[in-house]
Amino acid sequence: MTRLMIAVCCTALALAVAVGCEEQAKRPAGELASARFQATVYETRVPEAGVGAFDSESLAAKAGTAADLQKALAACGTTKVLYQVDQTVNLADDRIHIGKREPFVTNTRRTERGPAISMVQYEQVGVIFAIKAKPTDSGLDATVRIEMSALTESGTKISENVNAATVRSIELGHNGPVQLGKPVVLVSVDASSKDADGNAVACVCRIVFSEAGS
């Protein structure tokens, strides 16, 4: 191959790479297929007097980071993190499942020699995130469904020595526009179910979509 042919080939290759990069830079938002999905689920024990003021709009203003929101929730009541997710998701349709099997006593009986024997069963608890989204000029049009279940501290008395476990189920959801990098806060407060100190149990979820790899 002559030097002239080599120079022509290299020039053509450079032009092809440049055109490819330019087309990639001009790629419309509608071609976005995946995104980084971050979610943190908190449980907060809210005193009865504070239930009315516990809403997603006021909390979203304090949710710049996950640590900021946790600090704001701690000011409302005892708070702990239940679940955290940080991974790339397929915007067309994706699911994230975090779960475990919790043991609980279903029955207790005494043997002829005296020692008590407990019968144990396991309940599957955890959280499922179901995600669907379409890119828009301003971010995403997203549908997020969150289903959670957990054993409660209370139970139903089924015998003198045994309380059957009670499972709390919670569903949270968002359906609408989302700006990339801007948090959305979802809140569920179970005011009818109180703990031993008379506090309502609130579940709060902070979700953020951003560009994959960011």
CA distance 46 to 76: 6
146 falls in which pLDDT band (50, 70, 90)? Answer: very high
For residue 41, give the nearest of 195, 181, 186, 199 by alpha carbon.
186
Whether pLDDT at 174 is above 50: yes
- Per-residue pLDDT reduced to its tens digit, 48-62: 887 777 788 889 999
17 falls in which pLDDT band (50, 70, 90)? Answer: very low
User: Residue 165 has which token pair?
Assistant: 């476990």
Average of pLDDT values for 28-45? 84
Q: What are the sequence ranges of the domains in the chain?
A: 32-211
Contacts of 52 (CB under 8 A, 6+ apart): none
| pLDDT score recorded for residue 149 | 85
| pLDDT score recorded for residue 26 | 40
Mean pLDDT taken over the chain: 79
Average of pLDDT values for 175-180? 96
Average of pLDDT values for 36-48? 92
- Per-residue pLDDT reduced to its tens digit, 200-210: 888 999 999 99
- Per-residue pLDDT reduced to its tens digit, 117-129: 777 777 778 899 9
- Per-residue pLDDT reduced to its tens digit, 148-163: 987 766 656 656 666 6
What does pTM read for this prediction?
A: 0.73
- Per-residue pLDDT reduced to its tens digit, 67-112: 999 999 999 899 999 999 999 999 999 999 998 777 766 667 766 6
CA distance 139 to 203: 26
Distance of CA 113 to the CA centre of its chain: 50
64 falls in which pLDDT band (50, 70, 90)? Answer: very high
CA distance 170 to 186: 12
Q: How crowded is the C-beta side of 179, counted as CA atoms within 13 Å?
A: 3
| pLDDT score recorded for residue 7 | 38
Contact criterion met (CB below 8 Å) for 132 and 90: no
Contact criterion met (CB below 8 Å) for 141 and 176: yes
- Per-residue pLDDT reduced to its tens digit, 101-116: 777 666 677 666 767 6
CA distance 155 to 70: 29
| pLDDT score recorded for residue 14 | 38
